[in-house]
Amino acid sequence: LARMDTIVLDKTGTLTRGRPELTDFIGVEGREDEVLAWVAAVETESEHPIGEAIVKGARDRGLTLPAVSDFQAEPGYGIQAQVAGHRINVGADRYMRRLGIDLASVADDAVSLAEKAKSPLYVAVDGRLAALIAVADPLKNGSVEAIAALKSSGLSVAMLTGDNRATAEAIARQAGIERVLAEVLPDQKAAEVKRLQDEGARVAFVGDGINDAPALAQADVGIAIGTGTDIAIEAGDVVLMRGDLRGIVDAAALSQRTRKTILGNFVWAYGYNLALIPVAAGVLFPFTGYLLNPMLAAGAMSLSSVFVVTNSLRLGRFKSNSGDSAASNISESGAAQASVS
């Protein structure tokens, strides 16, 4: 981690809170409440946070959700089901285009929503565009400060998301990120990390979801959000226990200090032994008649070990940006142990 030069942040649940809210519903065909109830009914079968936001938005309006059958989900595209005798499709623009559904009537609205950092979704009923939905997922507290701190330390920061480019770039502007990897399907995340590595970057990937696990494993260092899924945590090399992105800054600073301590310990131990082993072997005897007493040699060896251990234990006093012990937010760092080893 001390030698990474690029940090790639997954958007949903990592850079943002991961709890989207339904913000807009623009009807095209049919009664708005009826269409929203159908969409929410379909989304009850989905495990995606956006689906939960739509369901909550419908229930907040007091809508009754009908029964659902023949539910199908296509990760990265959308979902389909039968509701009240109608085929309902909900998903991204690429999903609608693949279904051959014309989006021209809401194109301007979609662009306007995306520029406000809202994610547009489309609803088709029986093969006809019925509504445009928008959800917003606000940035986590501390995200902007974490990005600024990472950039000030010389790291390149990128955001990876499945959102369309306009929405992704709007969110990235809010966070202070210049490089955006947008419209990336869930199964393409690891390939994007590999592409950056092929360009010569040393990549740390930060994620929290099930579909982040391959990218966490592919990256030179995987940083998992501890509030995320068990699979992501298992795949990560470093775990941020509180999910605060400022922990990445702490982890990078701690890793750099750990590496400096390791190198300092090596220089000390190597130089110390290089100087005293010849003395213990009697190199001074032909000139001075001096031989190192074995008890003094043992004491000198112990002194070297005490120095290395004491120098490494200084890492225990490392403080995070918030002033707390970094160990409370970073798991598996092994800093002092690594330095002694």
User: What residues are annotated to the active site?
Assistant: 10
What one-letter code names the amino acid at 4? M
What one-letter code names the amino acid at 70? D
Classify 333 as helix, strand or coil: coil
Q: Which tokens sit at 224?
A: 């998992």
Q: Which tokens sit at 330?
A: 């970073």
Residues whose CB falls within 8 Å of the CB of residue 237, separated by 6 or more in sequence, listed in order: 1, 216, 221, 222, 223, 332
CA atoms of 14 and 300, how far apart (whole Å)? 50
Residue-level length of the chain: 341
How deeply is 32 buried, as exposed, middle or buried, from its count of CB atoms within 10 A (0-12, 13-18, 19+)?
A: middle
Please answer whether residues 227 and 243 qualify as being in contact, where contact means their C-beta atoms are separated by less than 8 angstroms: yes
- Where are any strands of DSSP class E within the chain? 6-10, 21-27, 68-74, 78-83, 86-91, 119-125, 128-136, 156-160, 179-181, 203-207, 221-225, 238-240, 330-331
What one-letter code names the amino acid at 333? S
Please answer whether residues 329 and 282 qualify as being in contact, where contact means their C-beta atoms are separated by less than 8 angstroms: no
Q: Which tokens sit at 98?
A: 């693949």
CA atoms of 317 and 313, how far apart (whole Å)? 8
Tokens 């480019």 belong to residue: 165
CA atoms of 110 and 54, how far apart (whole Å)? 17
Please answer whether residues 210 and 231 qualify as being in contact, where contact means their C-beta atoms are separated by less than 8 angstroms: yes
Distances from the Cα of 120 to the Cα of 21, 57, 75, 162, angstroms: 12, 15, 16, 12
What one-letter code names the amino acid at 92? A
